[in-house]
A and B are shown apart, each in its own frame.
Chain A
Amino acid sequence: MGLALLAKPAALWACAVCFGDPNDPITAGFNASVLFLMATPYTVMALIAAGVFCAYRRARTQQAQAEPSETVAPLAWNQEESGR
């Protein structure tokens, strides 16, 4: 079968979404659709990431407003934790 394909190499170039003429309108339609569907997952993922990032920033801002930052001495904490 390999020899048969080598004897007729044009058959190897066949593509499931090619319809002969590259200038055919239906080929342009398939190209547009394929490009759109290739771009969509990245767009959706970017929008989800942006939503998560915005929610994270909003939560941090609200938390900072609710609890003013304090200077805490870690050594003092360790001393209390040691129970001496």
Chain B
Amino acid sequence: MAQSSTARKLDDAPPRAVLRRAFGGGDPPRPPVRPNAAFASNAWLAVLMFLGAEAMFFAGLIGAYLVFRVGSQVWPPPFQPRLPTAMTAVNTLILLASAVTMRLGVRANRRGARVLLIRLLSWTAAAGTVFLLIQGYEWLQLLHFGLTVSSSVYGGLFYTIIGCHAAHVCGALIWLAVVWSKARRGRYTKESYVGLQICAMYWTFVVALWPLLYGLVYLY
């Protein structure tokens, strides 16, 4: 097919050496406009939006709790067991420590320390598992003392809010196990570690939410 005579063809362009002479020698300069580079990955943005939705979900639960808590003269209601605040405080520290190991793991990956990353991810998963085990033990004790979902509004709110958080920790642990497995296989490098980064974001969210719930449900 014949090409248009008015169209500028690449073959008609002067050779590079001619251009250099016209310019004065040397390599041609870079374009003055720097191309726009994405400052974050799509997965990072998606997880950020997802965490916003999660925050609103927990806000609804906390709002329901506030209605009953502020609206009650006596809390916990009479003949209902008290929550174990001291043991849960220790559990809170364990969960906060897991967030620290997670962030250190991400930093280790940025430095290229793969072995340290795997070790720190293992510590994070261990702390999360201990948190869930202690909470499960607490639940068994509370059920034994008569606090059930249907025993009162107090029990219903407690199991709904704390149970939702425990389910999130459980989901985060499964995700963390996948990330740990990928880290062992060397899937994350210094330059490319989006999977690790978004898992750390989710873990940080779950951990950061817990002190708020602990203060509200256990201490307030």
B-contact bits for A33-56, CB 8 A (1 contact / 0 none): 110110011001101100110011
Nearest-CB residue, chain B, relative to A59: B39
**Total A-B Cβ pairs within 8 A:** 92
Q: For the complex, give the distance between the alpha carbons of A4 and B13 in Å.
A: 87
B70–A80 CB distance below 8 A: no
Q: Is B164 close to A, CB under 8 A?
A: no
Q: Determine, out of B29-37, B76-84, B87-95, B129-137, the stretch whose residues face the partner at the interface.
A: B29-37
Q: Is A22 close to B, CB under 8 A?
A: no
B37–A59 CB distance below 8 A: yes
B52–A44 CB distance below 8 A: yes
Q: Is B7 close to A, CB under 8 A?
A: no
Q: Which residues in chain A, 60-79, are within 8 Å of chain B measured between CB atoms?
A: 60, 63, 70, 72-74, 76-77, 79
B137 to chain A, nearest CB (A): 31
Nearest-CB residue, chain B, relative to A83: B13
Could you say which of A27, A51, A60, A70 has the most chain B C-beta atoms within 10 Å of its C-beta? A51
Ordered by A's residue number, 9 sampled pairs between the chains whose C-beta atoms are within 8 Å are A25-B70, A44-B52, A47-B55, A52-B40, A59-B37, A59-B38, A59-B40, A70-B29, A80-B29
Q: Give 20 new A-B contacts, CB below 8 A, not counting A72-B32, A74-B32.
A: A28-B70, A28-B71, A29-B67, A29-B68, A29-B70, A32-B67, A32-B70, A36-B59, A36-B66, A44-B59, A48-B49, A51-B48, A52-B40, A52-B45, A56-B40, A70-B30, A72-B29, A79-B23, A80-B28, A83-B13
